[in-house]
Amino acid sequence: LSLVEAAALAADDRLVLSASVDAAGSDTPQPVPDDPAAAVVARGRDVEGARFDRRLAVYRSLRGADAVPKTGFKFGADFRTYLDVESVDDLPHSEHLVRVVEPDHRFSPRELSLDVRLAGGVRKEMVFALTAVEGGGIDGSRNGDENGNGDGRRDGNDIADADVEWLSIGRLTP
């Protein structure tokens, strides 16, 4: 499992983690949350920074829409999605590549063209997920004890409430 998947499943009580899951090896001297699920979120933030919260919000939004997100790494995207999954042994062709960006992201023409052409080349639609979740809340603040563990951060459940705006681009023509 990726850290994003583990955080989402643990927040939904669908993955049980042992108490040995902690932020060992972390470069930041932050207190380790008592909740193992919160420790996974903390580890994700240590690895990816604010990008982790954005990716987790999008992952949970996709799962909430009954899509099955998988890694899109080999396509240069954050996720690829499957919509009609009956069995993991017989996955259909994925329909979308999803790239997570901040709402104020400025696309260069070259960047946009590369993403859209790559998606088209592998018979997928390019979708951009714009979300402002950063390190704790939609406004990026870490004030308050949002998850009740004393660290002033939100956990995976709170991130599920983040607003995600979807932008789909099917084809670019000059």
pLDDT tens for residues 102-120? Answer: 999 999 999 999 999 999 9
Of these residues, 59, 82, 96, 105, which one is catalytic?
82
Domains of the chain, start order = 49-169 (3.40.1350.10)
Distance CA 144, CA 148 (A): 9
Q: Answer yes or no: 93 catalytic.
A: yes
How do beta strands 164-169 and 125-131 pair?
antiparallel
Of these residues, 59, 74, 93, 96, which one is catalytic?
93
The stretch 137-165 carries a mean pLDDT of 50
The stretch 127-155 carries a mean pLDDT of 53
Q: Answer yes or no: 82 catalytic.
A: yes
Q: Answer yes or no: 105 catalytic.
A: no
Residue pLDDT, tens place only, 39-90: 899 999 999 999 999 999 999 999 999 999 999 999 999 999 999 888 878 8
CB 45 within 8 A of CB 63: no
